[in-house]
Amino acid sequence: MTRAFSSRRLRRWLVGVAAVVLTFLLAPAGAAHAAGGGDIPVPTQSLSDKGTGPVTAADVDFVIRVRLAGLWELPAGNMAMQKSDDPKIVAIGKAIAAQHVVLDQLDREAAKKLGIQLPNQPNSDQLYWLSEMQNANSTTFDQIFVDRLRAAHGKIFPAIATIRASTRNDTVRKLAQETNQFVMTHISLLESSGLVDYGALPTAPAPVVTGNGPVPVDGQMLAAASSSGSGIPGMNTTVVLLVLAAALVAGVITTMRIFRSR
């Protein structure tokens, strides 16, 4: 009876150990999957704004370009409210003008924090576009308004993405994210007019082939991948953990059978 009791205790102990080790082995894969998405919300207000980090020439140019956008798009929106006979264009102009008041304030605050001198007048191209709208009548205004603003937003859109992805300064990073949200809204508003001539917009440059995936691969990335993997070609970490877990369970079962026969 003592032998049978000891055998039962040993079996329970082995099963418990196997369960703990199996949970430990599979936990990293489960945690990585959870961290990758699912129902976990992505914070949108977590960016700092302390002016920390170096400011590059590209950062300065971006902050100036945001200011320039407001200097001509705000009066363009006001003209849409005054000159257009289409209630939809009037509403679009009103929304864009109001939102540029907010964006301009954010831009001036960022520039003050970083010591960047901002212009107070639109550039020559923007002054020309405003003159086109000013000289247009109610029949031609709507198309000119939509064409000029949609083209301008499409031009600055990739520049925002570049700064958002590459800047080392937290204030510029936050401004880029905020500007991106405004520009996306304005593009959608302009396209809702039904007047955008997509065929007249510039096409994207041909992609540069750098590897087999969407992310450029370099030597450091390959070294990091090889050092963090299992060391076996074609074998990822999850597969290795599953094999080890299966081997552990098989060992426990075999041990239990040996003690049972005794």
Query: pLDDT by residue (tens digit) across 137-180?
Result: 988 999 999 999 999 999 999 999 999 999 999 999 999 999 99
pLDDT of residue 201: 87
pLDDT of residue 40: 43
Under 8 Å between Cβ of 139 and 128: no
72: exposed, middle or buried (Cβ count in 10 Å: 0-12, 13-18, 19+): buried
Question: DSSP letters along 71-113, please?
Answer: HHHHHHHHHHHHH---HHHHHHHHHHHHHHHHHHHHHHHHHHH
* Domain 57-200 belongs in CATH node 3.40.50.280: no
What gap in Å lies between CA 4 and CA 262, rounded to an integer? 9
Report helix, strand or coil for 153: helix
Element at 160 (helix H, strand E): helix 141-166
Residue ranges in the chain whose pLDDT is less than 50: 5, 15, 17-44, 228-235
Residues 6+ apart with CB under 8 A from 225: none
pLDDT of residue 117: 97
pLDDT of residue 138: 86
What gap in Å lies between CA 201 and CA 154, rounded to an integer? 8
pLDDT of residue 205: 82
pTM here is 0.64
Q: Which amino acid is at 160?
A: I
pLDDT of residue 34: 39
Structure tokens at 72: 């001509």
| Domain boundaries defined on the chain | 2-31+219-261, 57-200
Under 8 Å between Cβ of 184 and 96: no
